[in-house]
Amino acid sequence: MLEIKNLHARIAEDGTEIIRGLNLSVKAGEVAAIMGPNGSGKSTLSYILAGRDDYEVTEGEILYNGESILEMDPAERAAAGIFLAFQYPLEIPGVATMEFLKTAINAQRKARGEEELKIPEMLKRVRAAADELDMSMDMLKRPLNVGFSGGEKKRAEILQMKLLEPKLCVLDETDSGLDIDALKIVADGVNALRSPDRAVLVITHYQRLLDYIVPDTVHVLYRGQVIKSGDKDLALELEKNGYAGVIDAAA
């Protein structure tokens, strides 16, 4: 589903290279974890996949279902089924969460040539998804993420993901700032979306998230490259021994 080949990318403003020849393949049905020390390029990779214009791809390619996405803007990527859950979701004053959900869902349906959802069907879908994430409908009347706790913001992100039903889900340190109860709820929401035709890319520092979202593959990112790949046991090894041994072996 996702094929990244010899990707090089830099910060658009100052030209600092962050991604330096990254290769990565994620199949449909796969949950892949990206781990690595701070500054290794994990979040940068997520932003590039989503089409954020702060970064410039200078070499290589990103193929999604066999087609390059490099010339697609963020809205086109979203309509094609790519979703990014942010590490720090933005607060948007003046925009009710429910109105945001309705606009996002119908914009994507329109881009795909589908009919917009009527209000009764929309409410039915939102209620069902919110119940699964232990979110009240009153919360959805509030401005998007404004005054939300860290856990509420992450649940709102997973709610969007459940309703938009993307094919490639990119989770950028979704566990950041979550207590154990919120972590379990968010992980359950992600696990409920696992399917043979959907891929999930989980970016995280810590093994604890991978206790709940068990990955099929684990990739270690360092200085903009994947330096080691393995199965779920690699994450346990990193938790026990840290990154130094893996980095030294790759040098």
Residue linked to tokens 């696990």:
191
Confidence of residue 175 (pLDDT cuts 50, 70, 90): confident
Summarize the confidence of residues 110-126 as an average pLDDT.
89
Alpha helices in the chain (DSSP H): 42-50, 74-80, 97-111, 119-132, 150-164, 180-191, 207-210, 232-241, 244-250
Cα–Cα distance, 120 to 43 (Å, whole number): 37
pLDDT per residue as tens digits for the range 201-218: 999 887 888 889 999 999
Cα–Cα distance, 223 to 205 (Å, whole number): 15
105 φ, ψ to 5°? Answer: -65, -45
Residue 138 has pLDDT above 80, yes or no: yes
Summarize the confidence of residues 15-44 as an average pLDDT.
93
Summarize the confidence of residues 110-122 as an average pLDDT.
88
Work out the mean pLDDT of the chain and round it to a whole number. Answer: 90
| Residues written for the chain | 251
Residue linked to tokens 């925009």:
95
Contacts (Cβ under 8 Å, ≥6 apart) of 157 = 85, 86, 89, 174
Residue 230 has pLDDT above 90, yes or no: yes
pLDDT per residue as tens digits for the range 71-90: 999 989 998 999 998 888 88
Q: What percent of the chain has pLDDT over 90?
A: 56
> What torsion, rounded to 10 degrees, do the Cα atoms 239, 182, 151, 128 define?
130
From the number of C-beta atoms within 10 Å of its C-beta (0-12, 13-18, 19+), residue 165 rates as middle
Summarize the confidence of residues 94-98 as an average pLDDT.
92
Summarize the confidence of residues 16-30 as an average pLDDT.
95
- Do 156 and 144 meet the contact criterion of CB atoms below 8 Å apart? yes
What is the distance, to the nearest Å, from the Cα of residue 168 to the centroid of all Cα atoms in its chain? 8
